[in-house]
Amino acid sequence: MRAIIDVGRQISTGCRSEAFTAGTHTDLAWKTQQLRRRIFVEGLGWTLSVDRSGRERDQFDRKDTIYGAVVEDGNPVGCWRMLPTVRPYLLQDVFPHLAAGRQLPRDIETWEISRFGVDPFHQKPDMVSRELLGLMMRFAAANGVATIVAVTDEAFHKLLGRAGLKLFTYPGVDRSQEGTRGAIVAGGLHLAEQTHPRYRKFAQLSQEAA
């Protein structure tokens, strides 16, 4: 499946949201993985692999991986990563214990989001988070995604709830890397269940996508 990635938008002069792959935006993918190192390894203290170029990357950074970023003057200040569940993905292959025995998805209409984060030194982190959520929702709507699952920390799970999204949660909890943003949890959302006005604003493809 060839994903539709033209769902970004111009936010302000010099600032834009982008969905892309390593093939379409090699330099931006490189910079995004360096931002992930600053957010997750240096900022949150997560134990993740970092290569000699200072990029946080793993086996899920593939040719079919979709990246999202808010970009200011050519540099990403917030990011996420999305993977189709018909291929190996984080929840299924690394954190299946979070499902506590429940069946995990493997179908073309379910995608996983991971590595959602904002530059810890950015002056407007709430704005960047909102733009990343909007980009995620527009990508999902453009590609027929019915369900989004995620392995994340408790802080991000609460962020989604505050954004007006109706969530489901898997019962497992992983406290092996618990930090200031809480334990590792898993859950997701079904797009058809999202009726909050904020979601409708996020999903305005024709008005917001460039």
* DSSP string covering 68-131: EEEEETTEEEEEEEEEETTS--HHHHT-GGGGTTPPPP-STTEEEEEEEEE-TT-S-HHHHHHH
Domain count, the chain: 1
- Does the residue 3 lie in any domain? no
Q: What is the mean pLDDT of residues 149-176?
A: 87
Question: Tokens for 69?
Answer: 């970023």
The pLDDT tens digits of the residues spanning 53-95 come to 999 999 999 988 999 999 999 999 999 999 999 999 999 999 9
Better-scored residue on pLDDT, 199 or 134: 134
The pLDDT tens digits of the residues spanning 10-25 come to 999 999 999 999 999 9
Question: pLDDT at position 205, please?
Answer: 42
Distance between first and last Cα of the chain: 22
Question: pLDDT at position 179, please?
Answer: 64
Element (H, E) at 11: strand 9-12
Do 172 and 97 touch, CB atoms closer than 8 A?
yes
Q: What is the mean pLDDT of residues 191-203?
A: 76
Question: What is the span of the domain harbouring residue 198?
Answer: 9-208
- Does the residue 1 lie in any domain? no
Give the distance from CA 116 to its chain's centroid.
4
- Does the residue 55 lie in any domain? yes
Helical ranges in 113-179 per DSSP H: 125-142, 154-162
Do 174 and 95 touch, CB atoms closer than 8 A?
yes
Give the integer Cα–Cα distance in Å for 182 and 188: 17
Percent of the chain with pLDDT over 90: 71
- Does the residue 4 lie in any domain? no
- Does the residue 124 lie in any domain? yes
- Does the residue 91 lie in any domain? yes
Question: pLDDT at position 64, please?
Answer: 85
Q: What is the mean pLDDT of residues 134-159?
A: 90
pLDDT-wise least confident of 48-57, 155-164, 169-178:
155-164
By CB atoms closer than 10 A (0-12, 13-18, 19+), residue 45 is: exposed
The pLDDT tens digits of the residues spanning 183-196 come to 889 999 999 998 87
- Does the residue 136 lie in any domain? yes
- Does the residue 137 lie in any domain? yes
Taking 50 as the threshold, does the pLDDT of residue 206 lie above it?
no
Q: What is the mean pLDDT of residues 160-186?
A: 84
pLDDT-wise least confident of 94-98, 127-131, 147-151, 180-184:
180-184
Question: pLDDT at position 209, please?
Answer: 42
pLDDT band at 201 (very low <50, low <70, confident <90, very high): low
Give the integer Cα–Cα distance in Å for 8 and 80: 13
State the CATH number of the domain containing residue 27: 3.40.630.30
